[in-house]
């Protein structure tokens, strides 16, 4: 990577990480803390307030991506982060669950994922782009694990309002990074032709390989969220108190980054990315079966209690597969799009990602309530098989690095 590419990759990864940390920190404490607010005794309202950001984000990903193509990436990202800050402030001063829901919705309205991915793609060459996307992808897993540690700590300090206040500060830091650290963007939007752009976008979105990636990101996030409806309960059943769950996730996430760095980038350089990609899908599917064995009191359980060491090992394997898929998919999607429609293309991709989050949370909760946690893992494994079949014909072009 050049100095400029490193600067773009690290700065945008920090922007993504700060925003995701702000969104995730409330998750481990929201249900408990919301009971102290007006309307907090209504589980339906509390659930809507907690998850509405994902639905709003899904609706606005494509408009924000298209705006980034026409108006410029940076100004759209800063505007989106400003909405995130305003939503965090509203959550910090809220006194009712309804106000919390409006705050979470406004947080989700800052749907800048597509614009961030498009800007990173603009500022990196094809053969090094996966590393930049990997930094962004890794930030999701790392911030998820870190939020499970920081959320309860901050809640003890200032309650739910304190967590929202910290989220607002994180959003302001993200705006400062985009304004003063991220390199100047190429002025693609000044040459944007709306008529040609719409035709190019339509042709891009009908590409079979891009459709496969959109299906894949939906399945990946649906499976992840469905899993996390059940995994916390399994950790508690294995003897880990809820306050310490983050310390179980964190080493699994960090070690998986080491595996990703030692496999994804070397294999991509050798033109073996497709084999690793499909292998990671298989790995996640196998992990789902392992969690099923734990959840139903099978051979990986001790007298019906999930074995903590087996659970930790499966978490490690899951994050290995998840991080490789999370890093490689947006990189591949950005390479398939033309620069003039890259924002809109990534908007569609991120919309499917957000819909996967929503579907996984709702579907996982329904399956757990109706049929038990084991059914969630069997269904997730079946979805991974479907994804494997869909992804198998995909063409991944190998472009060796040009000599410097």
- What's the pLDDT score for residue 403? 42
With H, G, I as helix, E, B as strand and everything else as coil, classify residue 163. helix
Taking only the tens of pLDDT, the chain with its 404 residues reads 788 888 888 899 899 889 888 888 887 777 678 888 888 887 667 777 877 887 888 888 888 888 888 888 899 999 999 999 999 999 999 989 899 999 999 998 988 888 888 888 888 887 777 777 777 777 777 787 788 778 878 887 888 899 999 999 999 999 999 999 998 887 655 545 555 555 555 666 678 888 999 999 999 988 987 887 788 878 888 888 876 777 888 888 889 888 988 898 788 788 888 999 999 999 999 999 999 988 765 555 556 678 888 899 999 999 899 988 988 888 788 777 767 677 777 778 888 888 887 788 778 878 887 888 889 899 999 999 999 999 999 887 755 544 43
Query: Residue 124 corresponds to which tokens in the numbers above?
Result: 């990196």
For the chain, how big is the Rg over CA atoms in Å?
21
Q: Which residues of 313-328 are buried (b: 16+ CB within 10 A; e: fewer)?
A: ebbbbbbbbbbbbbbb
E runs forming strands in 178-274 = none
Whole-number pLDDT of residue 193: 53
pLDDT value, residue 328: 84
Instruction: List C-alpha distances in Å: 177 to 18, 88, 173, 209, 400.
Output: 10, 18, 6, 34, 32
For residues 194 and 7, what is the distance between their CA atoms, to the nearest angstrom?
31
Q: How many Å apart are CA 221 and CA 223, to the nearest integer?
A: 5
Q: Compute the C-alpha angle 64/19/230, nearest 5°.
A: 105
Joined tokens for residue 41: 């005794």
DSSP calls for 339-403: GGGHHHHHHHHHHHHHHHHHHHHHHHHHHHHHH-HHHHHHHHHHHHHHHHHHHTT------PPPP
**DSSP reduced 3-state for 96:** strand
Q: How far apart are CA 158 and CA 331, in angstroms?
A: 39
Distance between CA atoms of residues 9 and 394, nearest Å = 27
Q: What is the pLDDT of residue 337?
A: 72
What is the distance between the alpha carbons of residues 155 and 164, in angstroms, rounded to a whole number? 10
Report how far residue 127's alpha carbon sits from residue 121's, in angstroms, rounded to the nearest whole number: 11
Structural tokens at position 34 = 């919301």
Residue 275 C-alpha from the chain's centroid: 23
pLDDT of 404 reads 38
Q: Are 134 and 235 in contact (CB under 8 A)?
A: no
Name the helix (H) or strand (E) containing 137: helix 126-180
Structural domains in the chain plus CATH codes? 1-184 (1.20.1250.20), 194-397 (1.20.1250.20)
In three-state secondary structure terms, 302 is strand
What is the distance between the alpha carbons of residues 307 and 325, in angstroms, rounded to a whole number? 27
């Amino acid at each position: 990577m050049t100095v400029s590419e490193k600067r773009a990759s690290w700065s945008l990864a920090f922007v993504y990480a700060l925003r995701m940390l702000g969104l995730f920190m409330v998750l481990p404490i929201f249900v408990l803390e919301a009971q102290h607010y007006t309307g907090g005794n209504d589980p339906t309202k509390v659930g809507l307030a907690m998850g509405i950001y994902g639905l709003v984000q899904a609706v606005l990903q494509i408009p924000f991506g298209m705006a980034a193509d026409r108006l410029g990436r940076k100004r759209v990202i800063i505007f989106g982060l400003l909405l995130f800050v305003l939503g965090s402030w509203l959550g910090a001063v809220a006194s009712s669950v309804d106000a919390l829901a409006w705050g979470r919705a406004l947080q989700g309205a800052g749907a800048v994922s597509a614009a961030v991915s498009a800007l990173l793609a603009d500022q990196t060459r094809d053969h090094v782009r996966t590393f930049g996307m990997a930094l962004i992808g890794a930030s999701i897993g790392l911030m998820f694990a870190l939020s499970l540690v920081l959320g309860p700590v901050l809640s003890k300090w200032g309650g739910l309002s304190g967590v929202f206040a910290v989220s607002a500060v994180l959003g302001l830091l993200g705006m400062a990074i985009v304004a003063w650290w991220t390199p100047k963007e190429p002025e693609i939007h000044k040459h944007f032709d709306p008529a040609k752009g719409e035709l190019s976008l339509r042709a891009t979105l009908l590409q079979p390989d891009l459709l496969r990636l959109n299906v894949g990101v939906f399945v990946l996030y649906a499976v992840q969220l469905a899993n996390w409806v059940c995994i916390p309960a399994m950790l508690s059943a294995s003897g880990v108190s809820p306050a310490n769950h983050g310390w179980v996730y964190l080493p699994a996430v960090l070690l998986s980054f080491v595996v990703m760095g030692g496999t994804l980038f070397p294999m991509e350089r050798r033109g073996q990315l497709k084999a690793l990609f499909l292998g990671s899908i298989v790995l996640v599917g196998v992990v789902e079966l392992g969690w099923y064995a734990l959840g139903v009191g099978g051979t990986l359980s001790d007298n019906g209690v999930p074995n903590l060491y087996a659970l930790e090992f499966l978490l490690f394997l899951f994050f290995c597969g998840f991080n490789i898929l999370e890093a490689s998919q947006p990189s591949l999607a950005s390479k398939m799009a033309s620069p003039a429609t890259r924002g809109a293309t990534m908007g569609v991709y991120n919309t499917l990602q957000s819909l996967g989050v929503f579907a996984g949370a709702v579907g996982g909760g329904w399956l757990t309530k109706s049929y038990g946690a084991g059914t969630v893992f069997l269904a997730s494994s079946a979805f991974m098989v479907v994804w494997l079949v869909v992804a198998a014909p995909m063409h991944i072009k190998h472009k060796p690095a040009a000599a410097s």
